[in-house]
Amino acid sequence: MESEQTNIIPNPMPDNSSSASVNNQCAVPPVVAAVPAPVAPPASVVTIPVPVVNNEGTYAYITIKGSLHDRSCQIFGLNDTELQALSKRFENGIKAVVNGVMISASPMTMMNTLAQLGYKVICSSGEAEICWTMQREI
């Protein structure tokens, strides 16, 4: 009987089926969700943070309308007590207009007078004729 010769080729892949720990040679990267980047406003846009006012209803507002070149102005939103105080200060210079009064004093004089009553300017608008909104805490 002739001896048979067999060539056994070793398996290049190790047999991990019998081992308890499995080592993955090909790692799959974790899935990462795409998060959109924050979009910055254009350079020409100005963002002004506005604080949240929790005390709504605790302020009184008035408006002064006038020109810096005039010697009179109109005031809207004054209560009766404030009108009496102004009529004592400007005795003959108060005249009733629609929804307010006209006073024979420059707008700057009126703003300074109303500041003594606790008002402060919070905004203004206009060019030739300007409206100043003033606020007072009640």
Question: Tens digit of pLDDT for each residue in 76-116?
Answer: 999 999 999 999 999 888 999 999 999 999 999 999 999 99
Parallel, antiparallel, or unpaired for β 59-66 and 73-76? antiparallel
DSSP code string of 34-46: PPPPPPPPPTT--
The verdict on residue 7 lying in a domain is no
The verdict on residue 72 lying in a domain is yes
Domain that holds residue 92: 63-137
Q: Above 90 in pLDDT, residue 119?
A: yes
Which of 40-49, 68-77, 100-109, 128-137 comes out lowest in average pLDDT? 40-49
74 sits in which H/E element:
strand 73-76
The verdict on residue 5 lying in a domain is no
The verdict on residue 39 lying in a domain is no
The verdict on residue 47 lying in a domain is no
State the Cα–Cα distance between residues 67 and 138, nearest whole angstrom. Answer: 28
The verdict on residue 34 lying in a domain is no
The verdict on residue 89 lying in a domain is yes
Question: Tens digit of pLDDT for each residue in 89-98?
Answer: 998 889 999 9
**Residue 13 has which token pair?**
């892949």
The verdict on residue 44 lying in a domain is no
Count the domains in the chain: 1
**Residue 81's domain is classified under what CATH number?**
3.30.1410.10
Report the SS3 class of residue 63: strand
pLDDT the model gives residue 91: 86
Contact assessment for residue 86 and residue 115, using Cβ atoms and an 8 Å cutoff: no
